[in-house]
A and B are shown apart, each in its own frame.
Chain A
Amino acid sequence: MEPVIDAINLVKQFGPFTAVDTINFSVRPGEVFGFLGPNGAGKTTTMKMIQCASPRTSGTLSVFGMDPGTHSSEIKAMIGVVPQETNLDTEFSTIENLIVYSRYFGISKEVAEERAEKLLDFVQLTEKRDVIIEKLSGGMKRRLILARALVNQPKLLILDEPTIGLDPQARHLIWEKLKLLRSLGNTIVLTTHYLEEAERLCDRLVIMNKGTILVQGSPAELVLDHVGSGIVEAEHSPGVEACLLDMDIPYEVVGDIVQVVTDNPRTVAQELLSKCDAKRVLTRAATLEDVFLKLTGRGLRE
């Protein structure tokens, strides 16, 4: 099947700064594809190039087989965009936002009204139909932006940090809607720095850092390939460290804990308890977060 998005050696420079540095990826129809990375990794810049809002510096990019540089209007007609910033029309009510937005796609008033009602129902905002935007909560605004991105019945949905700043309830509701959209055959591309979000939603994902793609694959593959199946943690002390060195078990010190990555967490935990006299021993499955921190480092991003 022809990919929905195909990027080959894609580069974006802002003056001397390279925001996206020669990346390659391809998004297949019907999958949820994630871009994961710390702040400043180049995720949003990549989204902007896909949605024809920012021209690329070099490389090739095709969306539905078309070049965003020359066919922006055709491409934009087929995609829905949920931006990172909330940019609803504050002067309008909930339903008016959807109807005014439909007009930009050349959708007739009758069709727009019918779709708007259905979409409000879909994002559970029918009760807020005639409420002015300012009176909506943060979660409601994000849901309305999701509804707005669907007015043109897009074949590809692009979401830039869809659940940023939301409480757990609001976040779960958005996830539920995205899963539903996926089950209807939509292709979804999203950026996030919430690891849990990526793990739950994405069929495949890439981890970006400083403009480059570090790895790509399914969440489970990435965890297995780059970390391993299990992790054992114990409180850090010189004794524990010496003991691990003695047994020749590789470990990492993270703050006040010692971390051991292993395929046999039970054995390691037992040895830590019996031989090293370790405190607060904990075994857990490795997660995407471990992969992420391993690949992008623990330094703060600002």
Chain B
Amino acid sequence: MIRDLFAIPRLTGKAWTVWQRNLDVFLKTWRVNLVPPFIEPFLYLIALGFGLGGFVGYIGDVPYIDFIAPAIVAVSIMNSAFFECTYGSYVRMYYGKTFDAIIATPVSIEEVIAGELLWGATRSMIYTGLMLPVLILFGVVDLPSSLLLIPFAFLGGLLFACIAMCFTAATPSIDALNYPSFLFITPMLLFSGTFFPITVLPPALQAFAYVVLPLTNVVSICRGITLTLFSPFMILNLAWIAIVTTVLFFLSVNLMKRRLIV
């Protein structure tokens, strides 16, 4: 039983046709999709960077606004993939019956879910690509190292897409998706080394944040990239993300299959 949930699903390139479908919809509604990632960094940088940053000044020898800039990217990576693969996927699965339509073709349910996950990751990457010019304009991120954020956003996005899809597979209704949004996403937004250094927390909580809160690892890597401060610790962060993503990728696909194929 449990073993089946972590079995490696059989996938082919057909998963990309599902990805392509979502990309087509995204491009069709580009006006509503492309504006938020431009506006979001402005709001954060002005309110927190200039507003709060004026009181805080420096964290270590890093200006506060430079400290939070990578966190804004990390939060956006989290939000865009997470909400795409919770509410977005749920609407496609339950209300649109899109998955039913697709599995009547040679595409399998495993490939549908894989396509959804890849799309969630892509969405994180697109958003990061759109935010980056704003951050560069403000001069709060280093170049050229910050360009690494774009490929990294795909990996980070895939992590949150897989987490989201597990919730989608388990949720009894769309309203119940509010629980992970408020009880998981919001605490991460606050306690993952985003707006204050994680080192101010007691050591036990720091360990908890690194082991249990995915965003902590994503913030850590984003910050290393934008400040060009590469440390060996980032390899641990990267390994954590790679392992958890792989396990949850299999788990979410199998959970969704169990939900949809009866």
Asked whether any CB of chain A lies closer than 8 Å to the CB of B25, the reply is yes
Within 8 A of A (CB), among B67-106: 96-98, 100-106
Asked whether any CB of chain B lies closer than 8 Å to the CB of A54, the reply is yes
Within 8 A of A (CB), among B17-50: 17-18, 20-21, 24-25, 28-29
Closest partner residue, chain B, to A51 (CB atom): B104
Q: Is the CB of B105 within 8 A of A89?
A: no
Asked whether any CB of chain B lies closer than 8 Å to the CB of A83, the reply is yes
Asked whether any CB of chain B lies closer than 8 Å to the CB of A43, the reply is no
Chain B nearest CB, measured from A101 CB (Å): 7
Asked whether any CB of chain B lies closer than 8 Å to the CB of A77, the reply is yes
Q: Which of A55, A77, A89, A96 has the most CB of B within 10 A?
A: A89
Contacts of A73 in B (CB 8 A): 106, 108
Closest partner residue, chain A, to B22 (CB atom): A91
Asked whether any CB of chain B lies closer than 8 Å to the CB of A72, the reply is yes
Q: Is the CB of B97 within 8 A of A87?
A: yes
Determine which of B21, B96, B97 lies in contact with A100 in the assembled complex, contact meaning CB atoms within 8 Å.
B21
B side interface size, CB within 8 A? 23
Asked whether any CB of chain A lies closer than 8 Å to the CB of B262, the reply is yes
Q: Is the CB of B98 within 8 A of A77?
A: no
- Distance in angstroms between the alpha carbons of A43 and B21 in the assembled complex: 31
- Distance in angstroms between the alpha carbons of A103 and B261 in the assembled complex: 23
Determine which of A83, A105, A106 lies in contact with B100 in the assembled complex, contact meaning CB atoms within 8 Å.
A83
Q: Is the CB of B101 within 8 A of A83?
A: yes
A side interface size, CB within 8 A? 27
Closest partner residue, chain B, to A102 (CB atom): B105
Q: Is the CB of A89 within 8 A of B261?
A: no
Chain A nearest CB, measured from B97 CB (Å): 4
- Distance in angstroms between the alpha carbons of A105 and B105 in the assembled complex: 6
Chain A nearest CB, measured from B145 CB (Å): 38
Within 8 A of B (CB), among A52-90: 53-55, 72-74, 76-77, 81, 83, 85, 87-90
Determine which of B14, B17, B98 lies in contact with A87 in the assembled complex, contact meaning CB atoms within 8 Å.
B98
- Distance in angstroms between the alpha carbons of A55 and B262 in the assembled complex: 7
Asked whether any CB of chain A lies closer than 8 Å to the CB of B107, the reply is yes
Contacts of A92 in B (CB 8 A): 24-25, 28
Contacts of A104 in B (CB 8 A): 14, 17-18, 102, 105-107
Q: Is the CB of B103 within 8 A of A106?
A: no
- Distance in angstroms between the alpha carbons of A147 and B106 in the assembled complex: 17
Asked whether any CB of chain B lies closer than 8 Å to the CB of A152, the reply is yes
Given contacts A87-B97, A103-B20, contact A81 B25 (CB under 8 A): no
Q: Is the CB of A72 within 8 A of B105?
A: no
Q: Is the CB of A90 within 8 A of B96?
A: yes
Chain A nearest CB, measured from B258 CB (Å): 12
Contacts of A85 in B (CB 8 A): 97, 100
Report 25 cross-chain contacts, Cβ distance below 8 Å, ordered by A residue.
A14-B262, A53-B104, A53-B261, A54-B262, A55-B261, A72-B108, A74-B106, A77-B105, A81-B104, A85-B97, A85-B100, A87-B98, A87-B100, A89-B21, A89-B98, A91-B25, A91-B29, A92-B25, A92-B28, A100-B21, A101-B101, A101-B105, A104-B17, A105-B106, A106-B14
Q: A87-B97, A89-B101, A101-B101 are in contact. List 14 more A-B contacts (CB 8 A).
A: A54-B262, A74-B106, A76-B105, A76-B106, A77-B105, A87-B100, A91-B28, A92-B25, A103-B21, A104-B14, A104-B17, A104-B18, A106-B17, A152-B105
List of 10 A-B pairs having minimum Cβ-Cβ separation, nearest first:
A87-B97, A104-B105, A81-B104, A87-B101, A73-B106, A91-B25, A103-B17, A77-B106, A76-B106, A104-B107
